[in-house]
Structure 1
Amino acid sequence: MKKLSLVILLVLGALGFANAQRTITGKVTDQKGEPLIGASILVTRTTVGAVTDLDGSFSIDLPAGATAITVSYTGYTSQEIEVGNQTIFDIQLEEGEVLQEVIVTALGIQKQPREVGFSVAQIKGEDLTQARVTKLQNGLVGKVSGLNVSTTNNGIGSDTRIVLRGIRSLTGNNQALLVVDGTPMALGFINSINPNDVASVNVLKGANAAALYGPEGVNGVIVVSTKKGGAGSRPQITIGNSTLFEKVSFMPEFQKLFGSGSSTNSFGVGNYDPLENQSYGPEYDGSIVPIGEETEDGRIQEIPYQFLKDEKFKFWDIGSNIQNDVSVNAGDDKSNFFFSVQNVGIKATMPMDEANRTTIRLNAGKTLGIFNAGLNFGYAQENRDVTTEGANVYWDVLNTPNNIPLTNYKDFQNDYWSNHDNYYNEYYFNPYERIYNHRSENRSDDFFGNVVVGLKPTKWLNITNRLGYSLSSYFYHNFYRFIDYSDYAVSHRYFASSGDRKASVADGNSFSSRLNNELIATADHNFGNFNVKGLLGNLLRESYYKESAVSGGNLVIPTLFNVGNRTGEPGASSYFTKSRLSSVFGSFTLGYKNFAFIEFTGRNDWDSRLPASERSYFYPGVSSSLILTDIMPALGAGKVLNSLKLKGAYAQTGNVNVGVYALESTFSQAGGFPYGSIPGFTANNSINNPAIRPEVVNSLEVGAELGMFNNNVLLDVAYYHQNNNDQVIPVNISDATGYTSALLNAAEFNNWGWEFDLKFLPLISTASGFSWELSANYTYNNSEVLSIYEGLDELSIGNTSYAIVGYPAFVHKLIDWKRTSDGRVIVDPLSGFPQANTVSSIFGNTNPQHIVGINTDFSFKNFGLHVVAEYRGGNYIFNQIGQDADFPGVLASSAINGRQRFVFPNSVYSNDGGQTYIENTDIVIRDAQYAFFSTAAWRNTQTNYYSSAAFWKLREVVLSYKVPTKILGVGRFVKDATISLVGRNLLMFRPKTNSWTDPEFSNTTGNAVGLTTLSQSPPTRVYGFNVNLTF
């Protein structure tokens, strides 16, 4: 009986418990129906909760008396939902107001945008990688106002220049600082980041935003936050493959009329010359003509004398880029984990060039009570096999007349006419053989990461120590293969007349590291209507660099590329540098009722690069923001305006523009000093200046952020002005001092600009599932040089770039034709030849004044279309590649008027020594062939190759399809599958005056931009497909 009673009691208890507690399930999605992974479901007024899994689903047991649940997700508006008797819920969250999101600012501090008084732009990881970029910086292009990203060329290992809001130093670095997971590092590490590992990028545009980063942050900061893993019931595995192809899209405009030759007959018609690389011969007529010298066995090569349209395009290979990715992430409310591996195989458009890059990332974090710890680790290794003769290869291609079947000579090791003894060109190498003979096998290894430990003893106080370390090593093995000419070639061929080319080798390596430790305490406390936040920190940093190289020539065994195989003395060099920086910094923020904020910042640095008397320097900053629609709710009560924020900031920042040991009296080795191979050292040519100070940047910014039409339309407007003074410049001094130059704080210039960011989220949205989102950004930047130095009004920056008082920084100085006051060209009254000036003249900007980015996304059900376009303009470029290529005469610019005699356009002449000028209507250029276009008179007049650098580019086009899990038939296993077609740089529009190359290219990542040379390989377009699966 007792047992029966016990059973009855247990059953009744279970029934009572079942009535008191029940289970509800559901799914949480965004407005597009996409699952929100890791959304929080909390039983209202309890601590009972759950999070959604990989497909947005959840299950939670409701305790007795529970009536509602609260659903929340970062960046979305939370919902409180009455439960009632319902057990299954489909919950859709709306994106929250932009002013309530969280952004990452200086030192990794997270803030609500309403608190921030300066310009910060955030790009989500998925927006960076839609076009499957392999370099993170390429994913930023066109998406942020104030940002200018440009590249040197499309070759393997090409460098990138990243500038925010123009320049701040005439002679120093103007590129942005890179910060990865809170640790500052050299910008070059951006090439070692797998874009698929990035959760978001926050762009701190001005010195105001980056004041706490010190001198490195003066040019703005690219803050990269990598993925940390999300809360979920089980690990999430993602695999992906991108297969992309790259094809040369544009080369200089070639002339189609004339072939080999370099002289004219008595009638002014070009003579055909089978040995000539220049193309100043007669017009093509389709006849069979000989090319090259007769070979040792009496053979001679013959081809049709006709223009070959695509032959130079066909020289370049169709490149490929194959990415394979695997990542795993997991976590809960106390821990997180993310691990990824990526491999990228690259085949360049330059024949025989290839590379392979592998990246690994491991991020993990754990919270235990008041303690927390985190590890962020990244590693990248890239192996390259490339030619060292990129510019000369391009020169060989351009020195090939347009009737030569260049691609027939690819098999130079087996084909009779392609080997170096019989190659047709008398003056230049077969470019395929040049590529093969001059190689560099190199490897780079980059490690970067940090260890973070934190303590949160109270709700309002947080103490964090971040130990960061970055290391980069680079090794190269360069060699030049032996060329053994036949005796006949040596005696009969010009290019072989100097005899065999001996093999040589050069090995070198470099190593750089930076140890960075930051100890930061932050406080956040409310006092009634006031909120007070404080930050106090200390930084210790040591930077180290070492480089060494050794080389040897005349190798004894031609195929053994080892310095020990040399004859004669080897070449060798080695040096290292070390510097230290110590800093204290802090900020104080006061907020009132969450609508008014003011922040004060300050930092003091002690930099070992500066002289002892100037080693310590302090710089302050202040910023403020007001949410007017919170102060005056009536402003946001209408249908048009929902939110209005005003912002403003001022900062003074120091910029240390001196290298390590630049202010020391140093000595260096010099070849041939004192004489022969005896080692000796010479003093530095620049005199030590113990009074050098940091350059000073005073930056002011004001702006507004508006949310309109239910926050579907967002507008961010900012104006900035930067005064840059105490610029460090080199000034020539008397040789009697024993030196030739000195570094001084002297020059001053201003730069200023406007930024506009407009977003429609969405522009159109229909019940059928169609959505159109559109965003656009516009940047205007200008500058003016105020002074250089007493008695000095201009400063050469390099190439054709100058800083000149009264003009923007920087402008071109170029040799032009002699002109009248109204701009007409002065020609010789007898020959009709235009006359060149002997001094250079000032021309336009080297840096763009206008940048426009347009981003648009269409979606319909499971299909999506993503497009990015960009415009840059207001700057000009000197196309030295055209100046070089007019020598062989293959370009259209060397065939003006069909090389017939012509009157030079817009010209005049004088018969009285320049007293009066007569419009030229009948004095023709007598020889419009080789004697005109190939000579220094034409080619050295640089304005013949000066053009607008403006362009429109179709940067990204992505057509994607999200495969329904029902189609896959394994929805419980495969949680997401996306297939996409990808295109990058598919179209480019540029002014007709630029017929040479991509105006985005420049031969440097330094300040002397606005010049293209043979080192810039032709631009390309990229197309392919991508598959991503999530488990």
Structure 2
Amino acid sequence: MRKLLLASIMLVLGSYAYAQNVNVTGKVTADDGSVLPGVSVVVKGTNVGVQTDANGIYKISAKKGASLLFSFIGFESQTVPVGNSSTIDITLKSDAAQLNEVVVTAQGIRKNLREVGYAYSKVSTEDVTVGRSPQLAQALSGKVTGLAVYNVNNSVDPQVKVVLRGFRSLTGNNEALIVLDGIQTTSTVLALINPNDIENISILKGGQAATLYGSAGINGALVITTKKGSKGKLKVNYSNSTNVEQISFLPEFQDKYGSGSHYYPSYGSAGYSSDPLVRMKGNWRSYENQQFGDPFDGSLRQLGRSASDGTTNIVPYAAVKNARYKAFDTGVSMNNQIGFTGGDENGTYYMSLENQKIQGIVPGDKSERTGARVASSRDYNKLNVGFNASYTQAKYDRTSSDFYNDVINQPANLPLQDYRDWQNNKFANPNAFFNDYYNNPYFNADNNRRVYKDANISGTLSLTYKVTPWATISNRLGAMNNSRTQKSTTGKFLYSDYAKTKAFIAEPFYRDGDGTGVYRAITDILGGVTDYTKTENVINNEFQLLLEKDFGPFANKLIFGNSVYQRYIKEVQVGSSSIVVPDVYNVSNRQGELTGYENTYMNRRVGYYADLTSNFKNWLILNGTFRYDQTSLFYKPTRATNLWSYPYYGVALSFIPTDAFPSIKSSVLNYAKLRVNYNKNANDNIDFYGLDLTYPNGANFPYGNTVGLTVGNTLPDANLKPESVTSGEIGGEFQLFDNRVNIDVSAYTQKSVGQVITVKVPNSTGFPNLLINVGETKNFGYEGEFKYLISRGTKFSWDASVRYSYNDNKVLELYPGINEFVLPDGYSYANTNVIKGSRFPMLKTDGYQYAPDGSGYRLVSATTGYPLRQTTLTPRGGTLPRHIVGLGSRMNYGNFTFTFNFEYRGGNYMYSDLGRQMTFTGSGKWTENRTDQIFPNSAYLDADGKVVPNTTVKVREPEYALWVDQYRNISENFVTKAWFIKLRDINLSYNVPQSVLSKVKIFSGASIALYGRNLITIVDKMNYYTDPEYSRTTGNGLGLNSTGQTPPVRQYGVNLNLTF
């Protein structure tokens, strides 16, 4: 890369030697007389450009006879010839709503912004790079109305779920379609895209916007357009970002009690003490993972059992400050990239190279992403040829152990950091690690690894030919290959005989019944290896015929199109759960039978579509769309055509009253646009080969040479067809006060009928489940975006924006006789559900029994004082946020720019299984009250069933049983409101003045920036557990979390940009 950079510098230096330039200076003002800082001033046809300073002044060097292009957001661009003049002052006119802006919509169709009859958002390169997020999807959070990005973990390979306007399918896919340079794909590709390669992202939210994509676009679409280059001489941009990341949120830990479990004699036994402190001392054990021992007193105590050489591990019996926090590493990432762009009057080109390395917060976890992208566009008279291709390879090395869970299962007096070197520290080695039940977290992290490589290669070739002045044909062929090669390993470890049978506890720390030997050493770690490969091939071809013709006051545009989409997936896994030779990870190095599987899938969709736009005098625009699809997912030779071939259609109307009635225009109201649309779509939400009966291997088969297959347990309905989805939207766009205020509002509703779901049926049918079209849902909401140019002064400019989204849904109908069903990925005691008449997903958990008189008291046993558990699961609330608010601002002062973005989500609930786990171990701060107590807000029923407020019955064993046997098993305790506020990103940058760069004569632009991500996180005061943004699944069962999620982090970094 250094050689490539040097060559680029020499090219630029050489160009200076032949230039015959004149120095031009001037001042740029707005049509209201105010100066305009930050105006782009470019020598047209070159890469030479500057920006006006805080006083609107610019200085630039240009050849005689050249022209200067002046451009600024919200104003009309102007081109001025240089001639022999050395001073050029200009005034830019306001461009209300930038009415002539052309944007990319569905199927790559470009439209004038006023012709777009639905809610439309565009995200620029700066929007997704300002916080230097290593993952594109996370960079979008809070910046687009209606868009929510859900995180599963924060590992070196973060998983996300991108959703537009909530859920509409009960059991199917609710993720937005990702379209990358015309190729339809999924959110998994977002982790492999270099954000700096992005030109812009068009966010298509409503059904009308996505009708032309067919069922693939039913959940909206993110249409990503990458850079294609710009006309002018070669321009080279180099960027380096280096940042560190640290844990931003951990559960609240107790720091009062040490190791211990229920070893004290049972209640009522001889010698049983009524003093909880006495019982705590009896519960203390040096080898326990549970933390229900006596209070820390600072004395020296043995930790675990003695080593084989007789030495003991003596540590202070006191909490180690921030021990769990320090167990994690400080993550470090570095990103280097270089881009080349240029072109001439007939074409452009672009190339980029990127390398990103990440050291994660979990010890040993790391990743590296390397990518290259090339793109070019060329005009040959009436023919335009466009080409782009990219290759990205990402390597990941992650632990497959639950490091988070292992960490919280260690007592507070364990100095965790001292046990990192488990190979050389005998007390960190599994043979002598203190914990009888959980191994050393660092050993588990090292011994259980998942190493994999993801590769993505994609490319598009587009041909556009202007047949006549009013007819153009185009064809875009795209292909993409995604692959993963993965090896998962568990190292073999055989415990020593001493650890199994002889390890003891020295006096005076020995307790009756302790015995000898480490409990977990009973079972050796036999090791294992699993190889997995997956290949996905996508071919997507789009042919379009564009007809443009004006008839009187009507400007008409009609597009006919044909779409072919094919997706092929193959995955193979083979593994062994026991290896022979340690550290040799080959499936041939095994004991026992190999396990594994092979799956192959393919589907094809062929569509024919039309898009008509009729524009009456540029103030009344009608847009109609139609598509007819044929899909292999619902095809069988014997099935009726209407079950696998189906139409989509939609209509949108835009009205610009400020153009229809110019008299209503004023300095207050500059522009107004009203829009309405309606459409009817179909959703083929069904798995590959969902119409076929499957025959998996039976239990314990194959057995030797005997093969046994069993029929699947779900019978597809013979008349199964895609879901029918109708939607409507109204909205408006307004610009006020000389283009200083911009408002965009929308309201929408969407109804889905005949959802494809699995229902229980009588066993007499021969199958326990039936796949059928049933159910009806409604999804609705409204959105608003407010942008305000607060100041546009001589030295200081400031703009701000607020975005608000409200979304809700409701299950209107289900299968006769069925009023609810459980979604996958939950627990028996806490799960997400679909319930008729309610929003979904709906969180349900077990909980307390409450007093029947409505007083709100929690019922307890009149004998033990323990709370009574209601085993029937009760709805707690929806898990999707109803409200999403984004707040962003940008301030310019001289050469400094400061930006920030906040996001709020709320109106939903979550269940934290992490809290349940920490209650079992006694590590949660909420378990600290272990002395005599009456359970709060409690009552009991007397012999007559009367509610009696509890003022006398104390909890029997508050030092252990209250928490482990009672509180832990009432899941309502771990349900909290899931709202949060986050400072998503913050950036302070400095652009080096042109006066300095002109002296260096190497760089045409340079900037340095300090940035941060997620620096502030605020949650509900009752949420002791985890960041509400994280869920344990990318499926529809959001709102449940566990220790499987890597803790969230905050990031700090510095970015350097150089332009040659």
1:993 lines up with 2:1001 in the alignment: no
Between the aligned partners of 2:48 and 2:211, the Cα distance in structure 1 is 40
**What SS does the aligned partner of 2:996 have?**
helix
Structure 2 equivalent of residue 227 of structure 1: 227
Structure 2 equivalent of residue 921 of structure 1: 951
Structure 1 equivalent of residue 558 of structure 2: 534
1:853 lines up with 2:886 in the alignment: yes
Instruction: Select which of 764, 770, 794 maps to 2:791.
Output: 764
Instruction: Select which of 964, 972, 977 maps to 1:948.
Output: 977
For the aligned residues, what is the CA RMSD?
2.2
Between the aligned partners of 1:179 and 1:29, the Cα distance in structure 2 is 39
Q: Relative to structure 2, which stretch is displaced further, 203-212 or 53-62?
A: 53-62
Give the C-alpha shift of residue 573 in structure 1: 1.4
Between the aligned partners of 2:1010 and 2:189, the Cα distance in structure 1 is 29
Q: 1:53 to 1:517 in 2, by over 3 A?
A: same
Structure 2 equivalent of residue 215 of structure 1: 215
Give the C-alpha shift of residue 676 in structure 1: 6.4
Q: Map 1:93-492; keep pairs closer than 5 Å.
A: 93=92, 96-98=95-97, 99-232=99-232, 234-263=233-262, 264=264, 266=273, 267-269=275-277, 270-271=280-281, 272-389=284-401, 391=402, 393-492=403-502
**What SS does the aligned partner of 2:555 have?**
strand
Give the C-alpha shift of residue 526 in structure 1: 2.1
Q: 1:694 to 1:26 in 2, by over 3 A?
A: farther
1:808 lines up with 2:839 in the alignment: yes
Between the aligned partners of 1:882 and 1:429, the Cα distance in structure 2 is 21
Between the aligned partners of 1:294 and 1:515, the Cα distance in structure 2 is 63
Give the C-alpha shift of residue 250 in structure 1: 1.5
Structure 1 equivalent of residue 267 of structure 2: none
**What SS does the aligned partner of 1:859 have?**
strand
Q: What is the aligned residue count? A: 987
1:28 touches 1:52 (CA, 8 Å); kept in 2? no
Give the C-alpha shift of residue 150 in structure 1: 1.5
1:628 lines up with 2:636 in the alignment: no
Q: Map 1:932-1011; keep pairs closer than 5 Å.
A: 932-935=962-965, 937-968=966-997, 970-1011=999-1040
Instruction: Select which of 702, 706, 709 maps to 1:681.
Output: 709
**What SS does the aligned partner of 2:870 have?**
strand
1:640 lines up with 2:652 in the alignment: no
Between the aligned partners of 2:910 and 2:656, the Cα distance in structure 1 is 44
1:1016 lines up with 2:1045 in the alignment: yes
Structure 2 equivalent of residue 11 of structure 1: none
Give the C-alpha shift of residue 659 in structure 1: 1.0
> For residue 716 of structure 1, what is the amino acid of its counterpart?
D
Q: 1:602 to 1:38 in 2, by over 3 A?
A: farther
Structure 2 equivalent of residue 1025 of structure 1: 1054
1:689 touches 1:742 (CA, 8 Å); kept in 2? yes
Structure 1 equivalent of residue 862 of structure 2: 829
Q: Map 1:39-54; keep pairs closer than 5 Å.
A: 53-54=48-49
Q: Map 1:531-610; keep pairs closer than 5 Å.
A: 531-610=555-634
Between the aligned partners of 1:334 and 1:104, the Cα distance in structure 2 is 22
Q: 1:539 to 1:39 in 2, by over 3 A?
A: farther
Give the C-alpha shift of residue 460 in structure 1: 2.3
1:24 touches 1:61 (CA, 8 Å); kept in 2? no
Q: 1:716 to 1:498 in 2, by over 3 A?
A: same
1:35 touches 1:54 (CA, 8 Å); kept in 2? no
| C-alpha distance after superposition, 1:497-516 (max 9, x if no partner) | 43432232111100011111
2:382 touches 2:467 (CA, 8 Å); kept in 1? yes
Structure 1 equivalent of residue 899 of structure 2: 866
Between the aligned partners of 2:141 and 2:1018, the Cα distance in structure 1 is 17
Q: 1:260 to 1:386 in 2, by over 3 A?
A: same
Give the C-alpha shift of residue 215 in structure 1: 0.4
Give the C-alpha shift of residue 28 in structure 1: 10
Between the aligned partners of 1:199 and 1:558, the Cα distance in structure 2 is 50
Structure 1 equivalent of residue 514 of structure 2: none
Give the C-alpha shift of residue 75 in structure 1: 7.0
Q: Relative to structure 2, which stretch is displaced further, 167-176 or 51-60?
A: 51-60
Q: Relative to structure 2, which stretch is displaced further, 817-826 or 784-793?
A: 817-826
1:26 touches 1:91 (CA, 8 Å); kept in 2? no
> For residue 236 of structure 2, what is the amino acid of its counterpart?
I
Between the aligned partners of 1:727 and 1:487, the Cα distance in structure 2 is 60
> For residue 1013 of structure 1, what is the amino acid of its counterpart?
S
Between the aligned partners of 1:73 and 1:847, the Cα distance in structure 2 is 39
Q: Relative to structure 2, which stretch is displaced further, 901-910 or 721-730?
A: 901-910
Q: 1:121 to 1:423 in 2, by over 3 A?
A: same
Q: 1:960 to 1:73 in 2, by over 3 A?
A: closer
> For residue 678 of structure 1, what is the amino acid of its counterpart?
T
**TM-score (norm: length of structure 2):** 0.90
Between the aligned partners of 1:778 and 1:178, the Cα distance in structure 2 is 23
Q: 1:368 to 1:458 in 2, by over 3 A?
A: same
Q: Relative to structure 2, which stretch is displaced further, 312-321 or 793-802?
A: 793-802
Between the aligned partners of 1:87 and 1:965, the Cα distance in structure 2 is 17
Give the C-alpha shift of residue 78 in structure 1: 3.5
Q: 1:553 to 1:71 in 2, by over 3 A?
A: closer
**What SS does the aligned partner of 1:212 have?**
helix
**What SS does the aligned partner of 2:107 have?**
helix
Structure 1 equivalent of residue 512 of structure 2: none
Give the C-alpha shift of residue 523 in structure 1: 1.9
Between the aligned partners of 1:661 and 1:691, the Cα distance in structure 2 is 15
Q: 1:89 to 1:249 in 2, by over 3 A?
A: same
Structure 1 equivalent of residue 920 of structure 2: 887
| C-alpha distance after superposition, 1:664-717 (max 9, x if no partner) | 122122441375673322211111322111112111100110000111100001
**What SS does the aligned partner of 2:214 have?**
helix
| C-alpha distance after superposition, 1:781-806 (max 9, x if no partner) | 11111111111111211321111111
Give the C-alpha shift of residue 971 in structure 1: 4.7
> For residue 585 of structure 1, what is the amino acid of its counterpart?
Y
Between the aligned partners of 1:81 and 1:437, the Cα distance in structure 2 is 68
Structure 1 equivalent of residue 507 of structure 2: none
1:847 touches 1:875 (CA, 8 Å); kept in 2? yes
Q: Relative to structure 2, which stretch is displaced further, 327-336 or 600-609?
A: 327-336
Give the C-alpha shift of residue 490 in structure 1: 1.4
1:75 touches 1:101 (CA, 8 Å); kept in 2? no
Give the C-alpha shift of residue 156 in structure 1: 1.8
Structure 2 equivalent of residue 43 of structure 1: none
Between the aligned partners of 2:728 and 2:968, the Cα distance in structure 1 is 45
Between the aligned partners of 2:922 and 2:94, the Cα distance in structure 1 is 60
Between the aligned partners of 2:576 and 2:986, the Cα distance in structure 1 is 49
2:609 touches 2:626 (CA, 8 Å); kept in 1? yes
| C-alpha distance after superposition, 1:459-516 (max 9, x if no partner) | 3222110101111000111111111321110114334443432232111100011111
Structure 1 equivalent of residue 683 of structure 2: 655
1:25 touches 1:60 (CA, 8 Å); kept in 2? no
Between the aligned partners of 1:994 and 1:786, the Cα distance in structure 2 is 32
Structure 1 equivalent of residue 5 of structure 2: none
1:28 touches 1:35 (CA, 8 Å); kept in 2? no
1:908 lines up with 2:939 in the alignment: yes
| C-alpha distance after superposition, 1:19-61 (max 9, x if no partner) | xxx9996789897544637675xxxxxxxxx566344857576
Between the aligned partners of 1:147 and 1:62, the Cα distance in structure 2 is 48
Give the C-alpha shift of residue 439 in structure 1: 0.9
Which ranges in structure 1 are unaligned for 5 or more consecutive residues? Answer: 1-21, 41-49
| C-alpha distance after superposition, 1:220-275 (max 9, x if no partner) | 0001111111112x110000110010101211101121111113562222122112
Instruction: Select which of 643, 659, 664 maps to 2:692.
Output: 664
Give the C-alpha shift of residue 379 in structure 1: 1.5
